[in-house]
Amino acid sequence: MKDMKNYYLKPPNISWGIIFPISWTLMFFIRSDSPVDIRSILPGVMALSILFGTTSMLAVTITFERKSRSFERLLLAPISLNLLMLAKTTGAILFGIVNAFIPVLFASFMVDLSGIHWVTTFIGVFLIAVTSTFLGLFIAVSVSEVFEAQTFSNFFRFPMMFLCGLFIPIENLPVFIRPLSYILPLTYGADLLKTSINSLGSISLWVSLPILIIYAMALFSISTHNIKQKWIY
């Protein structure tokens, strides 16, 4: 609650975490010279909204607190480091989930959204939010300034926009690039949303779910390890 109150309306968050995803949503849904199959691009826009929203939140909250040394005071709390970092990331996960359904709200006024498997959609949104948040945590603990975190985040975010099948099917990518697509966790999250919204996913649900969980656990473990090695002396 403290992070949401103090940091989430900072300029970097507003520009990258809120305005950018909404702008992309409106660009795809409204500003097009040809008819757009809104339902087909909805999974990609949702995943993009989560990715930018969550990584922007962590880039601000963690780096601001590290620079002001207020993070060191949190380490004095009588809780484990893992629990502390889960608390720090929960706000960003919730923010990412909310961000995901902004495009759904816009789309509901334009197309019929009946037939969507909402349980699978929410599971996909939740797992994308968790993995993207922990990716943001990994980035945030690797730098010392907010602008560095945002720049480093874009090193991951912009390739994901084009390599994870959000708007360009992976099958249409050059053969030598496709293996890189399957290394990125957003590929599996976006495919989950495609399966639940349009039944167009190409990866089994039982493959995507464990891979996303493994990615989340790995990113969180690496991030907490870096904090112990670099921040706690």
pTM confidence score: 0.88
Instruction: Name residue 132's amino acid.
Output: S
What is the predicted pLDDT for the residue at 228? 83
How far apart CA 228 and CA 233 sit, in angstroms, is 8
Tell the burial category of 36 from Cβ atoms under 10 Å away from its Cβ (0-12, 13-18, 19+). middle
What is the predicted pLDDT for the residue at 230? 75
What is the predicted pLDDT for the residue at 61? 78
Structure confidence by residue, pLDDT tens digits, 205-222: 999 999 999 999 999 999
What is the predicted pLDDT for the residue at 9? 64
How far apart CA 121 and CA 225 sit, in angstroms, is 32
Range of the domain at 95: 2-230
How far apart CA 44 and CA 170 sit, in angstroms, is 13
Q: H/E element holding 15?
A: none
CB 98 within 8 A of CB 175: no
CB 29 within 8 A of CB 187: no
Q: How many domains does the chain have?
A: 1
Q: What is the pLDDT along the chain (233 residues), one digit of tens a residue?
A: 777 676 666 665 566 656 766 676 667 666 555 566 778 888 988 998 899 888 877 777 777 777 777 777 777 778 888 898 898 899 889 888 988 898 888 888 888 888 899 999 999 999 999 999 999 899 888 877 767 777 788 888 888 988 998 878 898 899 999 999 999 999 999 999 999 999 888 899 999 999 999 999 999 999 999 888 877 65
What is the predicted pLDDT for the residue at 191? 95
Name which of 186, 181, 180, 175 is nearest 211 in CA terms: 186
What is the predicted pLDDT for the residue at 60? 73
Joined together, the tokens standing for residue 184 give 């990125």
DSSP 8-state symbol, 16: I
What is the predicted pLDDT for the residue at 32? 56
What is the predicted pLDDT for the residue at 214? 97
